Chains A and B, each alone.
Chain A
């Protein structure tokens, strides 16, 4: 596939890795956080960890929308489904198996008879609403700035068509505040950040400038393919070695300094800043999420339905919150790979294709096993 295959060339990957090897200072530890779960998965899937010198460490960040959603938000939706008989829930597939309260999940609610439809696009949710005028269509919207514009577009279209049976449960969050939170907490020491690529196509690389300056931390907006990640790592190593801290853009084939203006205009037409929002693992963060503007409140599921605020405790032993803050690694969790597996996940980080636990389970676990066999 064009724009994919060329960025996966194994020989070039080894060459860039050699260059990194030759440039790192042996006396320095390079602790680099990849913010996105997409990066975490690529790093493991393509064996990039094995190409790195020992003093480069990838710290996994919270960039997995499903993982940072408090389980109580899912539990509230399940409660709502149980108490209404004309509700169709539309959700992206990633959410289906995420543990809610008391070992429940949307997947299990569906098995019990709830009308839950897995959709690929917000456009599908609109179509379901158009085709089922007698029922309320509830769209469980989650995601970072990458996924927000399609939700905004759906609300705008629904408003234009005066759809009476469509509403959105908005759980969209913003990446720069989460990054600032991690850097300000100082819980884990970080020398540089591999920044989000697809989020940045929307908000632009300049969105991280403040964070980079305030915490004197080098940033590189990095594409998701293996060569992108390696080149970005090299760029971070160079910034660190030279004592620079700036936002550099490796993914310039799709990211502009100020992002996608049209998408930004659409988002600000429909949404406004939410004063406070809870992130799983990071806690309540001010101005880190968005909500639907009053003008479009007819389409706001939180206003249309009396949604309960429910607190759901993590399963005993699950260390997802620490994993999401980059403080612990998945294999430090006692449940990892035994009690908690992708088939029977105990925490969201094991469910999602962006979760760090799922990455370790799918790729990392075998690495260690192979090493053990060889030694």
Chain B
């Protein structure tokens, strides 16, 4: 029930507070009522037809870089 899937926003209807997202190449309309600012190209977490939160690309890259560091550390041991 708590699963939410990352999806890219392809278009926005600001008046209706909806967006069309691309979920693994399937297009789906989701509500953006819960978000203040979204722009086309953003990735959002989709849960029961609502975008819950934006995925922060900078933080995501930072987390991925941390995995690489862990790898480096692991390798040297």
- The residue that B52 contacts in the complex, of A2, A120, A260, with Cβ under 8 A, is A260
Question: Considering the chains assembled together, what is the distance between the CA atoms of A253 and B31 in angstroms?
Answer: 21
Q: Which of B6, B55, B57, B67 counts the most A-chain CB atoms under 10 A from its CB?
A: B67
Known contacts A1-B6, A147-B1: A198-B47 contact under CB 8 Å: yes
Q: Which residues of A sit under 8 angstroms from B40, Cβ to Cβ? A: none
Q: Are A227 and B31 in contact (CB under 8 A)?
A: no
Inter-chain contact A65/B34, CB cutoff 8 Å: no
Q: Is the CB of A253 within 8 A of B35?
A: no
Residues of B within 8 A of A150 (CB): 31, 34, 47-50
Interface string of B40-57 (1 = CB under 8 A from A): 000101011110111111
Chain A stretch 328-366: residues in CB contact (< 8 A) with chain B: 352-354
Residues of A within 8 A of B5 (CB): 4
Q: A2-B43, A124-B49 are in contact. Are A146 and B70 (CB under 8 A)?
A: no
Q: Which residues of A contact B63 (CB under 8 A)?
A: 228, 231, 250, 252-253
Which residues of A in the span 138-174 have a Cβ within 8 Å of any Cβ on B?
A: 142-144, 146-147, 149-150, 153
Minimum C-beta distance from B56 to chain A (A): 5
Kindly list chain A residues whose C-beta atoms are within 8 Å of the C-beta of B4. 146, 198, 201
Kindly state whether residue A115 has any CB partner on chain B within 8 Å. no
- Chain A residues with Cβ under 8 A from B24's Cβ? 1
Chain B interface main SS type: mixed
Residues of A within 8 A of B54 (CB): 254
Q: Is the CB of B49 within 8 A of A120?
A: yes
Check A92/B2 contact, CB under 8 A, given A123-B49, A227-B67. Answer: no
Interface string of A224-237 (1 = CB under 8 A from B): 10011001001000
The residues of B that contact A144 with a CB separation of less than 8 Å are: 1-2
Say whether A121 contacts B77, CB under 8 Å: no
Which of A13-21, A79-87, A105-113, A282-290 forms part of the interface with chain B?
A13-21
By size class, the interface of chain A is 35 or more
Interchain CA distance A181-B67 in the complex, whole Å = 34
Q: How far is the CB of B60 from chain A (nearest CB, A)?
A: 4
Nearest CB of A to B61, in Å:
9
Report Cα–Cα, A195/B50, bound state, in Å: 22
> B residues touching A (Cβ–Cβ < 8 Å)?
1-6, 8, 24, 31, 33-36, 43, 45, 47-50, 52-57, 59-60, 62-64, 66-68, 70-71, 73-75, 77
Q: List 15 A-B residue pairs with CB atoms under 8 Å apart, sorted by A's residue number.
A: A3-B6, A3-B60, A6-B64, A12-B68, A16-B74, A65-B2, A92-B1, A144-B1, A146-B1, A146-B2, A153-B34, A202-B53, A227-B67, A266-B33, A352-B1
Residues of A at the B interface (CB closer than 8 Å) are: 1-4, 6-7, 9, 11-12, 15-16, 18-19, 22, 36-38, 63-66, 92, 94, 120-124, 142-144, 146-147, 149-150, 153, 196, 198-199, 201-202, 224, 227-228, 231, 234, 250, 252-255, 260, 262-263, 266, 352-354
